[in-house]
Structure 1
Amino acid sequence: MRKPLTIIAVIIVILVIGGGAAQYLMRNDSGPLGGLGDDKSDQTEATEAAPEVPSQPEWCPAYEFISAPGTWESAPDDDPLNPQANSRSFMLSITNPLKETFTEDQVRVWTLPYTAQFKSVQSQQEMSYDDSRNEGRAKLEAELQWLHGECPQTQFILAGFSQGAVIVGDIADEIGGGTGVIPAESVAGVVAIADGRRENGVGINPGVDLGGIGAEIALQPVTGLVQLVVPGASMRGARPNDFGALADRTYQICAPSDSICDAPHNIGNAAERALELIDANGIHAIYASNDNVIPGTTTNQWVVGWASDIINQG
């Protein structure tokens, strides 16, 4: 089974501030007795204009931490500033400590409110993965656009788990590739936990080495068969930009043998693999307690420390 080719597009934006050239004109006039005359010189220097720093209202935070929960951990009508949809949401184990540590002017914590469902042959009443993911992406991008427009100096930290990690990773890939809704320089960091489009060597892995790949990549060759089990769940393969300009600050965290982000390259039984996409049990459900992902800590503790370091250094 051939792995889909990834188109690498890295766009580097260079801001050049023009400088002026200096001219020095000298004229030497001799007096009637052949003595030294008056030296007159004119010097013109062009000074470099300091780049303008965009202004923003006083209420704007230094950072906005955007949290994208996983499947069944959010709701479209949830309060993004005080999420209540699922009190056991894994992402709350990251956002709650950040809220307790930092003031609102230091960091604004915003949780993505979206349907977060995954239709399958076992749950025909749910929204399809494609529709749920697209809804979440549209809402997250709208938040980025709005806050960046109001607060152009605010830096963003993007974090997501499972379906939320796919959303965050897709948005980060476009921003890093130069086609996103905000500029790459406005993103301080990205972390995708249990990302279904994870690739080894793309982004930074702070944890143990992994041999597998994201399920959307592993199952792309048989996406038609997958949809017999999970209708409306397109397996899209690898992302095109390898996170581009954000590759040096995008982290991919995955537990070994998590079938969502560490799926075998050999597809095997496609129907069985498809069923694993909707199974939120086992390894995929214990990132808050699994200390075999990042040695010496758990995933949520690592992310809280990572985000705190960014905010404290800002």
Structure 2
Amino acid sequence: MTTMRGRRIAAAAAATVCGTVAANVMLGASTAWSVPIGPGCPALYVIGVQGTGQSAPNADPLADTGVVGALIAPVVSAVPHLVQRSYIPYGAGFGGIVPGGGPDPYVASVTDGRTKLDAAAAEIVAACPSTLIAAVGFSQGAQAVSSFARDVGAGAGPVPADKIAGVALYSNPDRAPGAGVLPGRPGQLTPDPAPGTAGAAIAGVRIANPPAAGSGIAGAADFGALTGRVADICTDGDLACSAPDRAAVLRFAAIIGAQADLANPLAALGSINASLSGALGEAWNTVLANDFRVGHGVVDYAPTASLAQRLIEAADPRITPADPGLAAARWGEIIAAITVNPLELGKLFGQLAGAWGQLADDNADLVNPLIWARYLDTVNRHNNYALGQLDSGIAWLIALAHDLAGSRR
């Protein structure tokens, strides 16, 4: 008989492998809420977004719980006159199968968190124009915060980049391949100063963490104008942020699973089948539209992206699919060219065989036991960030508060 502990481990592993994926897709509306501010306006306002199963739509926004609470609570305790904080109350679910999480698919859950984070940041800036914001996220919450930081850094977020003092991500599914603790700042361990400050206090901070191989299972984020003010902390062997480099099928499956209703087996099968069928069709249309060249009886498969990349992009609902009409027209051109010159078919088989060989290489880590030995303890690695890996983040936020308070004098 499966034990309760076994069920919890299985659920946590499922959330780690498949749940932490491509979830900053804007799929649904969120319940409005008002961020608690006051009394007065602080130098630094810290917004926390919890991980899977660690929040709920009706969660107390001032309760210091979970991994994120373990980081923020000591900051408020150390400088209560300089810092205010709140946590985004959202579903934090993974299709209804993770204890404590809501019933929504992972994609919809993170969308809920991201939407409320946007609203909270805008509300803080409107109410307290001199206050700067720090955002902290763990796991599913880190993906919502990473999406927020990416858009703010690109000038497309709910607040300007100069209103963000710092962003701390733990077990981030959007971690870039082989990224250090400050993405875009190779070898740098001290974050850039908050806007409008000289960074005197944070000059003594080091965001140190052992290197982690691989990358986030959902992809990678570029933080633009926030580069240097975003810390990305990952434990090697945590599948959420340190997935194998050559495991395209794993990433593809994770994106599909993130869109599924998993609480009901029949519903899960139906939603997974629909997503899978749609993704395979989109991938084929994209290959036809973009990767074949036809002219004067000549056909070539000349890919501008690998089959692995086409599959992953087709599964990701954030990416606009190829025009099926263009794909159908290209297929007609291919058939017509081969009809005129049948020898082209043999050449095409050779070119496509090379592409399948590349696809196998893009999944080579899936059959390498030495690679998978890194993930034997992935559940514990994912869940234990509060055991010694938050200290530098705590020191950083306290230093930011001191620097911001000093800049007001």
- Class of the TM-score when normalised by the shorter of the 2 chains: 0.5 to 0.7
Measured after TM superposition, the shift of residue 268 of structure 1 is 6.9
Please point out which of 169, 179, 186 is paired with 2:163: 186
Supply the distance in 1 between the matched residues of 2:48 and 2:110 (Cα, whole angstroms).
Answer: 14
What is the aligned partner in structure 2 of residue 247 from structure 1?
A: 227
Q: Does 1:78 align with 2:168?
A: no
Letter of the aligned partner of 1:311 in structure 2? A
| TM-score normalised over the length of structure 2 | 0.50
| TM-score normalised over the length of structure 1 | 0.65
Supply the distance in 1 between the matched residues of 2:67 and 2:98 (Cα, whole angstroms).
Answer: 24
Q: Give me the identity figure in percent.
A: 30
Coordinate RMSD, CA, aligned: 2.9
Aligned partners of 1:63 and 1:154 also within 8 Å: yes
Unaligned runs of at least 5 residues, structure 2: 1-37, 190-207, 263-376, 405-409
Distance 1:179 1:210, change over 3 A: same
What is the aligned partner in structure 2 of residue 7 from structure 1?
A: none
Going by fraction, where is strand more abundant, 1 or 2? 1
Supply the distance in 2 between the matched residues of 1:125 and 1:140 (Cα, whole angstroms).
Answer: 18
Measured after TM superposition, the shift of residue 61 of structure 1 is 1.1
Supply the distance in 2 between the matched residues of 1:196 and 1:271 (Cα, whole angstroms).
Answer: 11
Distance 1:272 1:143, change over 3 A: closer
> Which stretches of structure 1, 4 residues or more, deviate above 6 A after TM superposition?
120-125, 275-280
Aligned partners of 2:165 and 2:400 also within 8 Å: yes
Find the structure with the greater CA-based Rg. Answer: 1
Going by fraction, where is helix more abundant, 1 or 2? 2
What is the aligned partner in structure 2 of residue 61 from structure 1?
A: 42
Aligned partners of 1:203 and 1:252 also within 8 Å: no
What is the aligned partner in structure 1 of residue 210 from structure 2?
A: 208
What is the aligned partner in structure 1 of residue 149 from structure 2?
A: 172
Distance 1:114 1:61, change over 3 A: same
What is the aligned partner in structure 1 of residue 318 from structure 2?
A: none
Q: Does 1:258 align with 2:238?
A: yes
Supply the distance in 1 between the matched residues of 2:251 and 2:152 (Cα, whole angstroms).
Answer: 34
What is the aligned partner in structure 1 of residue 14 from structure 2?
A: none
What is the aligned partner in structure 2 of residue 126 from structure 1?
A: 103
Unaligned runs of at least 5 residues, structure 1: 1-56, 218-237, 290-297
Q: Does 1:304 align with 2:402?
A: no
Q: Does 1:198 align with 2:296?
A: no
Letter of the aligned partner of 1:163 in structure 2? Q
Supply the distance in 1 between the matched residues of 2:246 and 2:231 (Cα, whole angstroms).
Answer: 25
Supply the distance in 1 between the matched residues of 2:77 and 2:67 (Cα, whole angstroms).
Answer: 17
Please point out which of 113, 117, 120 is paired with 2:93: 117
Distance 1:120 1:216, change over 3 A: farther
Aligned partners of 1:203 and 1:249 also within 8 Å: no
After superposition, residues 33-72 of structure 1 pair within 5 angstroms as: 59-72=40-53
Measured after TM superposition, the shift of residue 273 of structure 1 is 7.1
Q: Does 1:140 align with 2:100?
A: no
Distance 1:58 1:94, change over 3 A: closer
Aligned partners of 2:91 and 2:102 also within 8 Å: no
